Amino acid sequence: MNVPTAGYGSGAGHRVVVTGMGAVTSLGTDLASTWQGVISGASGITRIRQYGETTTPTHIAGQVDLASLPVPGACGLGRAARFGLAAADQAWRHAGLERNPPRPEVSGVCIGASTFPIIEDRLDRIGALLDGNRWNWSRYAQLCRENPWLLTQSDAAGVASLIAGRFCLRAFSLTAQAACTSATQAIGHAFHTLRAGGARVILAGGTDSMLSMMCVSGFELLGSLSQRWTDPARASRPFDRTRDGFVLAEGASILVLEEMEHALGRGAAIHGELIGYGSSCDAYRFTDMQPDGDGAVRCMNAALRDAGVSPSQVGYINAHGTATPLNDRTETLAIRRVFGAHADRLAISSTKSQLGHLLCAAGAIELTITTLALKHGILPPTINLDHPDPECDLDYIPWTSRAADVSIALSNSFGFGGQNGCLVVRRWDAPRLRLPPQRQYRSPRKVCITGVGVISPLGLDVATHFARLQRGLRAVVAPVARGIGDLEIPGVARVEGFDSQAAISSRMLRKILTSAASHAVAAAGQALRSSGLPQTALQEAALFVGSLGLDQDLNLFAEALKTSLDSNNRFSYARFASHGTALIDPLFLVKSLPNAGLCGAAIEFDLQGPNLNIMNGAASGLLAVSAAFDAVRSGSSAVAVAGGYDSPLQLETILSHLIEDRLQSASNKDCGYILGEGAAFFVLEDEAHARERNAHVYAEITGVAQSHSASAGASEALYQTASSALGDTIPEAVFGDGVNLPANDAIERETAERIRPGLPIHACTDNTGHCGVASPLFSLLHAALSAYNPALVWTSDRGRVHAAVALQQPPNDSCPG
């Protein structure tokens, strides 16, 4: 149930193969039909019709035919969840795992997915839900009480957790969120985890469906979408001179990634080998790529280095190729910079020309297609490529697929926010090139914390926060904001007095970051400064962030929705199109990006290194610290920045806590918690590296672990996770959740007693409020600054996702406080 610490040094250099694939796309609801459609040059793009014939006619997309998608037990699930489950089911059977399932404790799931409330599902009550230009919170709460499934649309960890539950995958359940790079990040992280021995089988991929009215409007307002809606099949035109933006799509692809010996041992058919992954941050702008393609160059180079192959060994690239004027030009330039003269011998295609842009699932379907292309020796075409662009002058396989004997291929993804990812796949029966050299695995490094930063309801820096925590102070429970006051809760704990003008130097970041993401950037800045590391070290540092699920202020839409009501107080698509969209802030989609904290920190501090944004519920921050620990321990990064942020103080988030009866109510303050917000960041560093520069060490991290369970198994899962992180040590104290709910508190107490009778549990939830992702990080900060030696930090998010981090005080302790 627990993952052995995934240090590369411990289980060095396992090879990772693809043993199963599933796909749900606009070209077909299975792998075979999708592949046939892609290589025959078919287009899956049509007018959007799923929300009714009255949907704005200018909206086109690649849509999945839900009617032909059998998903047993899918009642009440949203589209993305159905696609994800169906693709996982296909992949599972394709890999022959239904006859021969892997052991749950060595199996996990890692996917890219998004969250967004589908306004369409609330439209039939919209007249009653709006008071003037604001939501009526009590009526909204009533709607959600009657239809609790509405809130699953904002459940960041939901789809991964469903997949983990269905296939009994207990090692971990992780959701990556890096906009259009999400699935590539998820697959890359799964690959590195398997290679390091952290699991034997991982269902990895992505699923997405952002075709509801507000999502499409959001991309449209940004000017990202093709305007060729009168001819949908010809609209997606990657690398063509007349390209004018991308076409949205929905769907899913899941791959079974398996440690090679495990696959061979059970006689599995192998479809390809994953041999490299690289990621980078542009650290430039939110929606524009670096014009010289620098970020893309760094991620392709990192992937090739990771795979141990030279550029000349690569035969095919499945390009990101979105068909925006900027992306295709920049990607072409980046490929030229990486491959030099060999670029002219490369075959490249963008299968977004057939499928559209699957957003958080794009990297998954594109890796699946790439794997099949190598296996079958057929390279898929770029359709709609009629007019050569002088700035896109490579071989993009126009219109017709091509037979080719290719051994090694890349799959690129570049996301909004500037997170880039690149995967390297090798044909399984390819003649042995010079074998990708085994990585130089060094002995595991000691990992210490050399920088800390925090923004919390208790204070805007570490000293204030910690001093107030030690004095047992509670954050001020603010009189609730307008709207929230209609709910029966005593208030919320807000971050008070935060000055973004002083904390953030980038004007654009101040404009587009939400307060939650601003807190993240500020806390990351504190951690970086307190580490005393020079900018040169920070530029290459790895960056791992746990982010809140949904950072969407629904009030941004209220005015537009109000305007869209007709004379009968009913929503009218015609009115929305003619008068509503003009009232929506065109930057709202950028402002609500779930990876805004990571990308904001990268831009503010010029962090260009490998990165991962985890959007997996309240445990996300500790999971980010775990991933950073693995990166430093393995020697792949000398410095990693890790942390997380959250602001659960938004309509749907508050309701999800309220409806589960987890919040203190005005009448009953003895049970449950109040909600808070904040961010905490840490600099993790190779101890030798820290010692060399005489850095102050706050604590040493000695172990990390995570797991997934059904809520019935939460107690055992938390115990196993804690034990795995602790190894042989017995902690002096645990820093836990303390959510003041009988069932949760009992699990924490029982687990602590099992570890050591009388083991004390500290929690700061009573002081800070329950700050979502940030709370377990406040625990980690508390533990790192405390005198308990050793100490254990854990969190158990709603009995599903469990994470633990074990700490020791440095030998010559000079901790503040």
Partner 1 sequence: MNNEGSSSLTGQAQAAAPDAATVEKRVIEIVARCLDRKPSEVGLDSRLWGELSAESLDMLDIVYSLERAFIIRLPRLNLLQRARELFGEDTVVADGVITPAGLELMRLSMPEIPAASLTPNMGIQEFRYIITVESFVRVVHRCLEAKARIRCACGGLPAPVPDSPMELRCAACGAPLELPSGEQLLVDDLVQAGKALNLHPPGFAETAAVPLK
Q: How far is the CB of 214 from partner 1 (least distance, A)?
A: 16
The catalytic residue among 14, 94, 192, 357 is 357
Measure Cα distances from 270 to 90, 96, 257, 460, 613 in Å: 15, 11, 10, 53, 30
Strands (E), 517-662: 542-546, 611-614, 639-646
The stretch near partner 1 (CB under 8 A) out of 402-410, 506-514, 659-667, 701-709 is: 506-514
The C-alpha atoms of residue 301 and residue 290 are separated, in whole angstroms, by 16
Q: How far apart are CA 567 and CA 294, in angstroms?
A: 53
Using CB under 8 A as the binding rule, whether residue 510 contacts partner 1 is answered as: yes
Shortest approach of partner 1 to residue 341 CB, angstroms? 23
83 half-sphere exposure, CB direction, 13 A CA radius = 35
- Residue 507 touches partner 1, criterion: CB under 8 A: yes
Q: How far is the CB of 291 from partner 1 (least distance, A)?
A: 8
Q: Which listed residue (587, 741, 759, 815) binds partner 1 by CB under 8 A?
A: 587
Asked whether 229 and 223 are in contact (CB, 8 A), the reply is: no
Kindly give the residue spans of alpha helices, DSSP state H, lying in 356-437: 362-376
Q: Is 35 in the site for partner 1 (CB under 8 A)?
A: no
The answer to whether 288 contacts partner 1 (rule: CB under 8 A) is yes
Confirm or reject binding of residue 386 to partner 1 (CB under 8 A): yes
Cβ-based nearer residue to partner 1, 231 or 405: 231
Q: Name the segment binding partner 1 (CB under 8 A); options: 85-93, 228-236, 685-693, 694-702.
A: 228-236
How far is 178 from 185, CA to CA, in rounded Å?
7
Among 36, 68, 147, 230, the residue binding partner 1 under the rule CB under 8 A is: 230
Using CB under 8 A as the binding rule, whether residue 474 contacts partner 1 is answered as no
**Least distance (Å) between residue 382 CB and partner 1:** 14
Name the residue nearer to partner 1 (CB basis): 401 or 808.
Answer: 401
Alpha carbons 208 and 154: distance in angstroms, whole number: 13
Residue 659, φ and ψ in degrees, nearest 5:
-70, -25
Is 583 a binding residue for partner 1 by CB under 8 A? The answer is: yes
Query: Does 4 interact with partner 1 (rule: CB under 8 A)?
Result: no
Q: Any contact of residue 65 with partner 1 (CB under 8 A)? A: no
Contact 773, 618 (CB under 8 A): yes
Binding of partner 1 at residue 585 (CB under 8 A)?
Answer: yes
Residue pointed to by tokens 């003649």: 431
The answer to whether residue 312 forms part of the interface with partner 1 (CB under 8 A) is no
Q: Which is nearer to partner 1, 204 or 504 (CB)?
A: 504
Is there a catalytic annotation at residue 180? yes
Contact present, 252 and 84 (Cβ < 8 Å)? yes
By the rule CB under 8 A, 393 interacts with partner 1: no
State how far the Cα of 556 lies from the Cα of 512, in Å rounded to an integer. Answer: 13
Query: Does 586 sit near partner 1 (CB under 8 A)?
Result: yes
The reply to whether 231 sits near partner 1 by the rule CB under 8 A is: yes
DSSP 8-state code for residue 388: B
For residue 368, the minimal CB distance to partner 1 (Å) is 28
Total chain residues near partner 1 (CB under 8 A): 42
Q: Choosing from 59, 110, 144, 180, which is the catalytic residue?
A: 180
**For 237-279, what is the HEC assignment?**
CCCECCCCCECEECEEEEEEEEEHHHHHHCCCCCCEEEEEEEE
Candidates 38-46, 262-270, 285-293, 653-661 — which segment interacts with partner 1 by CB under 8 A? 285-293
Considering only 221, 275, 631, 683, the residue that binds partner 1 (CB under 8 A) is 221
Contacts of 144 (CB under 8 A, 6+ apart): 150, 151, 652, 655, 659
Query: Rule CB under 8 A: is residue 472 a binding residue for partner 1?
Result: no
Q: How far is the CB of 115 from partner 1 (least distance, A)?
A: 22
Q: Which of 94, 320, 657, 708 is catalytic?
A: 320
Nearer to partner 1, 180 or 346 (CB): 180
- Judged by CB under 8 A, does residue 559 bind partner 1? yes
The answer to whether 287 contacts partner 1 (rule: CB under 8 A) is yes
Let me know if 534 is exposed, middle or buried by CB neighbors in 10 A (0-12, 13-18, 19+): exposed
Q: Provide Rg for the chain, Cα atoms.
A: 25
Instruction: Out of 73, 267, 390, 811, point to the residue binding partner 1 (CB under 8 A).
Output: 390
Rounded CA separation 679/642 (Å): 11
- Sole binder of partner 1 in the list 36, 100, 242, 400 (CB under 8 A): 242
Q: Any catalytic annotation for residue 357?
A: yes
Say if residues 786 and 704 touch (Cβ distance below 8 Å).
no
| CA 694 and chain centroid, separation | 35
Q: Which of 762, 802, 791, 590 is nearest to 698 (CA)?
A: 791
Helices (H) and strands (E) in the chain, counts: 28, 30
Q: Rule CB under 8 A: say whether 562 interacts with partner 1.
A: yes
Burial 164-173 (b: 16+ CB within 10 A, else e): bbbbebbbbb
In the bound complex, what is the minimum distance in angstroms from residue 407's beta carbon to partner 1?
A: 34
Catalytic residues: 180, 320, 357
Q: Which residues are at the interface with partner 1 (CB under 8 A)?
A: 132-133, 221-223, 227-231, 234, 241-242, 285-288, 384, 386-387, 390-391, 507-508, 510-512, 559, 562-563, 565-567, 569, 578-579, 582-583, 585-587, 590
